[in-house]
Structure 1
Amino acid sequence: MRGLSVVDDNVAWVSGSRGNIGISADGGKTWAWQQIKGYEKSDFRDIEAFSDKEAIIMSSGTPAVILKTLDGGNTWQEKYNKTDSAYFLDAMDFADKKHGFIMGDAIKGKVLLLETKDGGDTWSELAGAPDALPNEGGFAASGTCLRVNGKSISIVTGGGVSRLLTSPINNIKWQASVVPLTNGAASRGAFSVAFSKNGSVIVGGNYSKDAVADSVAYLFPKQQAGNKGSFPEVSPAGYQSCVEYLTGDIFLATGTSGTNLSTDNGRKWVKIDGKSYNVCRRAKHGNLVLLAGDGGKIGIYKP
């Protein structure tokens, strides 16, 4: 499980490999699971849910597909299908219920960005997508290398180079900042970004060497695009595939190396759990925080 969307303190959805999704109506305590018929080979790396009835899922790999349900997952409608193997979708996020984006790996030197303005019923390629540097790409690890934050859209990358790319949503113009979380390895770089009123926290590292704790987090000030950031005073204890802003000065990050907490806007981190997870998300409307990982594993964060 890599896709996770927490609607409120009761409703949450997860998505993952082999066409599997899960829905909870009791704050993550119990789950109704299903394998979507006809998509048993799909790897649904991200999900965006709006209620206990409405959700959108996207697959990574070939074919690249986007599905939507309006009846709690009883039926799914295919809204996008690309059999071209160049299309590899990494992450999805929405500014509101109608306006959303999906990021994919670069094609012909440009990051793939799909946009919907009708709640995921139709998708088109964004003409103003940012240029990609050689061997630069996104990681479809937690659905959070793309974030829509207020009136801006942000992307973090890895591989040959690692960057934070930021643009206003309604006037696409990209600014780039280097994120020094990569050594040129395809398995290393920035995997996830989250925002508070004080700036942004980026996490990542090397998923093939997840116990290595150096260069796994980076901080940018409030006006992050184009500015130089800094490493934390105390980093998370190993590779992290997802970071989520909770409240106040608190951030939560997780990965196969375990889960870490910062109470000072990412400057110092403490490992709070050693279990392997891929993603952590806070409720859009409420305080519930869930984690999801391999084998359908679900965690509930208790402050």
Structure 2
Amino acid sequence: MAIVFAPNVIAQKKQLIETNKTVSIRSLSVVDNKIAWLSSSNGYTAITKDGGLTWKWQQVKGFEKADFRDIEAFSDKEAIIMSSGSPALILKTIDGGLNWEVKYRNDDKAYFFDAMDFSNPKHGLVLGDPINEKFMLIETNDGGDSWHQFKNLPNAEKGEAAFAASGTCLRISYKGDYVSIVTGGNVARHLVLEKPFTDWAYYDLPITHGKPSNGAFSVGENGMVIVGGDYSKDKFRDSVHATFSGHPLPYKDSKPGPNGYQSCVELIAPQTYLSTGTPGSNYSTDNGYTWQQIDATSFNVCRKAKNGKLVLLAGDKGKIGIFKF
């Protein structure tokens, strides 16, 4: 079924796809206009080869209780999944999901993975919650076959953490020249590491914080737009996003902002962002300075194709949407 929303300068519509699944989906990786992958709770992955219209689901054998909160896909054959919770896991397939091989496992309950991102098919990072006042970062340089600790770990303040909400609290630029992390809890911050990767920069964000349920949840690919809020009060609209505005105040909370808590933001066209969360989705055509609500349908994640224009959304109860603009 297709749903057409409120008037806008750009026509929009969202097609909802029935999956008959009850899982929670928090991760998408859209390869091109046809191929995309997702991973979810209860150990499931799924792949589409027709732009999201139909999906082939598979439960990863031996990991039926795993909560796969992030996925990175490179083709219809190769993908990497990351679990949140204990044990901390990274698995890889090279045969379209028929078989998965464990590439990293840590049974220490202090390890909790939040997000994963790759700058190219060989180089990637996985972010985890702080251990000993340092955010955990592990790195691969061989396409996820092996992992090691990143050489420069960012500092964490007391009560600070990242959110495993959509796999987008961590971003690496496609050129590989910077790493971007957003955080929440007692503080809301943007952590940035640029070449030559020697010193992290730390920016306070004008996003609601002070509790474990609130802060910054997602940063756009170029680090310009950040969203978040309080997932326990998801209709609360104040201080749920930040937009880069230059010096001396790098980020500001513009009005009108998104309509409530947002767990994901994605750059989908020049100056154009889509964000989503449990209160619904929002749209900006001016680099995040003003926003318009699209609808009130709950989703957790929205992602655009790495090579193409396909934009997909996904959420709880196996919900999947195709966003057209």
Matched, 1:271 2:283: no
> What is the match of residue 134 of structure 2?
110
Deviations 1:76-99 (A, max 9, x none): 000000110000000000111101
> What is the match of residue 183 of structure 1?
209
> What is the match of residue 234 of structure 1?
256
53, 56, 59: which one aligns with 1:32: 56
> What is the match of residue 82 of structure 1?
106
Q: CA deviation at 1:169?
A: 5.3
Taking the aligned partners of 1:49 and 1:127, their CA distance within structure 2 comes to 25
Taking the aligned partners of 1:146 and 1:291, their CA distance within structure 2 comes to 18
Aligned runs of 1:95-244 on 2, under 5 Å? 95-149=119-173, 150=175, 151-168=177-194, 170-196=196-222, 200-221=224-245, 228-244=250-266
When normalised by structure 2's length, the TM-score is 0.90
Taking the aligned partners of 2:195 and 2:45, their CA distance within structure 1 comes to 30
Q: CA deviation at 1:248?
A: 1.6
1:64 maps to a residue whose letter is: A
| Identity rate, percent | 56
> What is the match of residue 256 of structure 1?
278
Q: CA deviation at 1:127?
A: 3.0
For the 8 Å contact 1:242–1:253, the answer to whether it is kept is yes
For the 8 Å contact 2:206–2:251, the answer to whether it is kept is no
Taking the aligned partners of 2:277 and 2:206, their CA distance within structure 1 comes to 19
Taking the aligned partners of 1:70 and 1:110, their CA distance within structure 2 comes to 33
- Distance of aligned partners of 1:227 and 1:118 in 2 relative to their CA distance in 1, 3 Å threshold: farther
Question: Structure with the greater relative contact order (CA < 8 A, sep ≥ 6): 1 or 2?
Answer: 2
Q: CA deviation at 1:183?
A: 3.2
Taking the aligned partners of 1:279 and 1:290, their CA distance within structure 2 comes to 8
Deviations 1:35-77 (A, max 9, x none): 1110011100000000000000000000000000000000000
When normalised by structure 1's length, the TM-score is 0.96
Helix, strand or coil at the partner of 2:220: strand
Can you give the 5+ residue segments of structure 2 that lack an aligned partner in the other structure? 1-24
Q: CA deviation at 1:227?
A: 5.0
> What is the match of residue 45 of structure 1?
69
> What is the match of residue 317 of structure 2?
295
Taking the aligned partners of 1:87 and 1:253, their CA distance within structure 2 comes to 28
2:278 maps to a residue whose letter is: T
Number of equivalences: 299
> What is the match of residue 21 of structure 2?
none
1:261 maps to a residue whose letter is: Y
Matched, 1:22 2:16: no
> What is the match of residue 63 of structure 1?
87
Helix, strand or coil at the partner of 2:232: helix
Helix, strand or coil at the partner of 1:301: strand
2:36 maps to a residue whose letter is: A
